[in-house]
A and B are shown apart, each in its own frame.
Chain A
Amino acid sequence: MSTIPEESKVQVIKEKKRYPYYIENPVEENRVERFLEAFAAVLKYTDYKPLLDSYCNSSAKCNRCAVTCPVFQVTHDPRDIPCYRTNLLLDTYKRYFTIGGWFKSRFTNTFELTEEIIDEMLDGFYRCTACRRCTRECPMGVDHGMITRLGRYILSLMGIVPKALQVSTREQLEGETHNTSQIPKAALLNTLEFLSEELKDMLGIEVEFPIDKMEREYVFFCAVSDYLLEPETLMGNAAVLYASGDWDKWTIGTCNYDGINYGLFYSDWHLENIIKQLIAEVDRLKGKNILIGECGHASRSAHDFVPVFSNGKPYPVFNFMEYTLQCIREGRIKLNRDIVTEKVTYHDPCNIARSGWIVDQPREILKSFVPDFVEMTPNGQDNYCCGGGGGLVSVDEIHDFRMNIAGKVKAEQIRRTGAEIVISPCANCKKQLKELVEHYDLPCQVMGIHDLILKAIEIPGAKSAAERKEEAAMFAM
């Protein structure tokens, strides 16, 4: 017989349902009032009001968004229809912040914001990966990704935000390390030293990573987790910079070396301040351009928001693949076509592909040295999210949701290609795809585009790609 009183059981179940992710200080009281207070402040000081006015009067509820959403495609739950989720916020706006809504509420039993609706929002807004695939197919042009983000922003102002995101951004903005993975400067320097040694072993070249060099052409930021988890991507980046002859034109800053910006997913305040921190580092180093490593959301946040939050002329922002492609086109780096014999496919990270910014570049790079390249279907701007977008990949407690629901369509998409290597130039996508490969037992490995370039690059004076391949094969035996 159970020793837990019935009342407590109910409470436990209710708590579990209320917050599907960990929250630092779960809000339990006056949530409706607090939500409306936060919403009012957002409307007063930001520019979202006309957007909401417009969307309220044009949302067609045609359901095209439903069929494009990888989450809905798996659950077929009406609550996962992007338009349904968007309308939770739009209905709240209409009821409490428009004259029409007020007028209607005087005469009819109209929409009321309740605790249950707040539960639905805090769950629904984090069941969306903010991939914005639905936005592309909305005939009315409703940006459901933007509304999801706004909903998350309002929730965050009342303290409802996944702990994983909050702790990371706090460390990035107020912590000693100023990065989301809490990597201290000493550890960064050690890692770079380690990467130099690895490059020496692998390529036979002596390189010392440029640290805090002034007035360089490029100041480099990657997803800081790459320093811990993706050394081959970073070595690939370094190999390209070395081979292209630009080794003395870039630098890594030690005051801020994290390109991650979770503000893009849930908060205007965090987004702006993290961007300003990034700009401050380039200012300090008197750099000329911002070069972002393999990370979709870091690239998008810098590319789209450095111009928004810059005082004066903004620094140009480049994704590393743009740089690499330029080097290939100019003949400054050479990639050996005989090295990669596996079937390779490419996953488009939503944050750089959905807008059409980085779609053709990686394909041109890959096709220049991968003989057996196969596309996913659909791909490019229409590609499916990995299932960990919008910051969800960092929220470990929703792992089951990411695997069984949000990432299922992607896993099937990868399986259909029959590829042995999945290229994903994004730290978040890489983590999610690696977990998917394991979860669905897919016969392939996931890596960054520069990991593959590292295998095939030919550098004058260094070991040849063929020689390296042979060494790697011997080592594997």
Chain B
Amino acid sequence: MEAWIDFAKGPLFAVTFLIMILGLARLLIIQLYNLIISKGGRLKNAPWKSILKDAATWFFPVKHLIKGTVIFSAFSFLFHIGVIIVPVFLADHIVLWENFLGANLPAIGQGLADFLTLFTIGCILVLLFMRIFVRRQRAMSKPMDYFLLVMVLFPFLSGYLASHPGSNPFTWESMMLVHLLSAEFLFVLIPFTKLAHIVLYFFDRISGLHWQLRPGAGDRVAKALFDEEARV
């Protein structure tokens, strides 16, 4: 078991983390390329001020949260706080960042980490519950929407149990292995599923820029389809 843990902590971590980084970098480059190269000079005419102002309101979205689906929205927002802070700033993870990236990040205290972990688990359960029991939300949901939530739940739950032997009905080793493997599976999922919004979110928020249509494109589409001038 020790050897498996070492493998998961070492080479497997490095490979899966690299897959995530390269996958996200690919998405980042494609989006940047399309914005800068394809749209080019048209971007200077875009209503940047209103687009950025609107985007900014979502980083502290109280004004938006109170407008509808208050419970779901609030839990979604709070969930993201835990999901960002705990994996990055937990003391045990800081060692990993230092080993692999050479980054020396500040750590959060164990008490805060425990609270945020439990809080995130609670948020996931609320979000799952609402997805199952709110009709309009269930109508929209696909298996992947449930699957990803459960996959995010795994590393948090296993991580908490591994660091709290009193609450852990299994051995530390088995729980740690589940923790590592589930987190690494998430790394691989991130660039290929809607978890890619880690990067794409920022582009979605400024997607108003896509109203800067490409001049002449309508003509080319029409010619390609009708082999003549566009039909009016």
Contact = CB atoms under 8 A, between A and B. Distances in A.
Contacts, number: 176
Interface string A43-61: 0111111110111011111
Interface string A19-52: 0000000000000000001100110111111110
A81 B139 contact: yes
A170 B230 CA distance: 11
Contacts of A64: 68-69, 72-73
A61 B68 contact: no
B9 interface: no
A377 to B, nearest CB: 12
A67 interface: yes
Interface of A: 37-38, 41-42, 44-51, 53-55, 57-64, 66-68, 72, 76, 78, 81, 83-84, 87, 100, 136-137, 139-143, 146, 157, 159, 166, 169-170, 173-174, 267-273, 304-305, 307-309, 314, 355-357, 382
A44 B225 CA distance: 11
B93 interface: no
B223 to A, nearest CB: 9
Given A146-B210, A268-B218, A47 B38 contact: yes
B182 interface: no
B194 A60 contact: yes
A141 B210 contact: no
Contacts of B201: 58, 140-141
Nearest to A140: B204
A54 B34 CA distance: 11
Interface in B8-64: 27, 30-31, 34-35, 38-39, 42, 45, 47, 50, 53-55, 58, 61, 64
B67 A59 contact: no
A269 B222 contact: yes
Given A57-B196, A64-B73, A142-B207, A272 B215 contact: yes
A78 B139 contact: yes
Max count, chain A CB within 10 A of own CB: residue among B50, B54, B215: B215
Nearest to A78: B139
A41 B225 contact: yes
B73 A139 contact: yes
A382 B221 contact: no
A60 B42 CA distance: 29
A124 to B, nearest CB: 14
B76 interface: yes
Nearest to A268: B218
Interface residues of B, number: 63
Contact of A139 (B42, B58, B196): B58
B200 A68 contact: no
Interface of B: 27, 30-31, 34-35, 38-39, 42, 45, 47, 50, 53-55, 58, 61, 64, 67-69, 72-73, 76, 134-137, 139-142, 145, 192-194, 196-197, 200-201, 203-208, 210-222, 224-225, 230-232
Given A66-B136, A78-B139, A139 B210 contact: no
A173 B232 CA distance: 8
A304 B200 CA distance: 25
Nearest to A80: B136
B22 to A, nearest CB: 16
A268 to B, nearest CB: 4
Contacts of B27: 53, 57
A142 B140 contact: no
A84 B69 contact: no
Nearest to B80: A139
